Amino acid sequence: MKGKFITFEGSEGCGKSTQSRKLCQYLKNNGYSVVYLREPGTTVISEKIREILLDPKNLIAPSCEMLLYMASRSQVVNEVIKPALSKGKIVICDRFFDSTVAYQGFGLGMDVDFIKILGKFVCDGIKPDLTLLLDLSVKKGLGYRKDSQDRIEKRPYAYHVRVRKGYLNLATLEPERIKIVKVAEDKAVTQEKIRKIVIDFIKPGKCISVVSRQLIADS
């Protein structure tokens, strides 16, 4: 693939959506062709699956939950990600396969090895070039989401602790791909950390002193 695939991961309330959108706009402002998407979602089919997965009224078996996430991912990979990468675009995705390993594997106790095997089929050879793992304590993360709890957010505290530990475990296994970004109180500080990592990834060795000035311009 000609393009670059960048994913954002992290437990609840870490600010993935906000930070990934800010990065997307920053790259566009600097002349890059960027495609932004979220998981589950983006395509018509995937958005319908998202509604099912996040509706607090739905009682979904762990195996069904995992397969629904995979089904949504298969659609977005084939409909959006692969075509965009083949055209040389930068694809930024709010969650991807690592989420399934963390949430359904470590969180729900499903067989991680089986999830990875299924993931290879579903992702059809697509793997992130860079993953930004936004790390925040579970207590702070859930505190930020009190007013908008979906089916996943409503799960017990211990579940979310397992999810965070799962993510950190994945980061130790793939340190070259997964970069841990400690979430700061100031969103601009977190964004600056992200931009430094991404700029160095896109253009290794490039001076990053311009990042702070761009942050001021964006505020």
Instruction: Kindly compute the dihedral angle of the four CA atoms of residues 130, 131, 135, 139, in this order, to the nearest 10 degrees.
Output: 170
User: What is the rounded distance in angstroms from the CA atom of residue 171 to the CA atom of residue 179?
Assistant: 7
* 197 within domain boundaries: no
pTM as predicted: 0.91
pLDDT over 80 at 3, yes or no: yes
Q: What residue numbers bound the domain in which 75 lies?
A: 4-185
Helix (H, G, I), strand (E, B) or coil at 3: coil
Tens-place pLDDT, residues 175-192: 999 999 999 999 999 999
* 205 within domain boundaries: no
CATH number of the domain within which 73 lies: 3.40.50.300
Provide the number of structural domains found in the chain. Answer: 1
* 216 within domain boundaries: no
pLDDT over 60 at 61, yes or no: yes
